[in-house]
Structure 1
Amino acid sequence: MITVVTGLPRSGTSLAMQLLEGAGILPFTDGCRSADASNPQGYYEAEIVKTLPQDSAWLAQAEGRAVKVIHLLLPQLPGTTAPTGCW
């Protein structure tokens, strides 16, 4: 299982990742984007997520973890389709 956290920029995805980490779900992150004034606890991102349209093999490394995926890349996740209507 992979827990996916998604949302628009500045919508609280880093906070959601912190909460999941506090609940014992390890974040899938590479630490490349350092904390700053906007997110003093960090961004909880992994650069490899941006390669999702070309390569999803890295998802195996995220097994059992929480992954932050920008909302525009959600349809690129294996086994998903573009949303239709509200969900």
Structure 2
Amino acid sequence: MDTSTRTYPELFMQLGLDNNLLEIERFIATHSPLDNDVKLVDAPFWSASQRAFLKENYLADSDWILIIDQLNKALHEPKK
């Protein structure tokens, strides 16, 4: 069993997005906060393939789930 923890850079690379920390912070700042009633997979900025990746891995409770949950939380937090 793989017990490694996935990271934001790995997730963003998998999603085909810039995966350096500055670009990750910029992405989160640009797209947050999501309304509380908007599920992460339903956010309007995902492509169909990105949405499918997030949904499939969430439903499968894969090893991506922890970092997907962290991204979900980050995108729903109010801006400071």
When normalised by structure 1's length, the TM-score is 0.29
Higher relative contact order (CA 8 A, sep 6+): 2
Higher strand share: 1
Higher helix share: 2
State the structure with more CA Rg. Answer: 1
